[in-house]
Amino acid sequence: MRAIPLTVTALAAALLLTACNDGGGGKNGKSSSACQIGGVSVQIGSASVAPAAGDTGEIPVSITNQSAPCTLDHFAAVFLSTGSGEQAVPVLKGAKAQQLKLAKGDSAAFSISYVRGKDGDKNALAAKTVKIGLPGSDTSRSFPWSYGPVAGKADGSGPDASVSAFQQVGD
């Protein structure tokens, strides 16, 4: 007799999941409900700046939805630019993305961690701006980088920096 209630429960759960699917019908296969950089306010908060070469700093970035409900479903795209080129900041090793739904007025945050490089070091990235893009969106926004040079990874694969997962802010 237990097989019938479990089957009904499983069927109901499957129908609910199907009803929640937006079909991903946005441009280029992107979800039409993805948060867009133009529909949110982006603010770089008070940073814990790395004071000297070899020290680690952390820059919090908060996003507040200013428009229709939207979803953050992966990691922010972050690039450090020198003016003559840019380098992607990788995701923090071991970080797991979570899907966050933001109603109008809701906020989420992530952090950019970095190791300060030595001024003039050929492996250091003399960043002038940080460019931030949201998952599922083709647009980005640039902000001044005033936290000093970013050390390069020992293997030469890019900046010694990382991006954390989005976290819900507030209730």
pLDDT value of residue 6: 35
φ/ψ of residue 16, rounded to 5 = -65, -45
> DSSP letter string over 56-116?
EEEEEEEEEE-SS-EEEES--EEEEE-SS-EEEPPBPTT----EEEE-TT-EEEEEEEEEB
Q: What are the pLDDT tens digits along the chain (171 aa)?
A: 444 443 333 333 333 333 333 333 333 444 459 999 889 999 998 889 999 999 999 999 999 999 999 999 999 999 999 988 899 999 999 999 989 999 999 999 999 999 999 988 888 999 999 999 999 888 999 999 999 999 998 887 889 999 999 999 876
- Please state the pTM of the whole predicted model: 0.77
pLDDT value of residue 123: 85
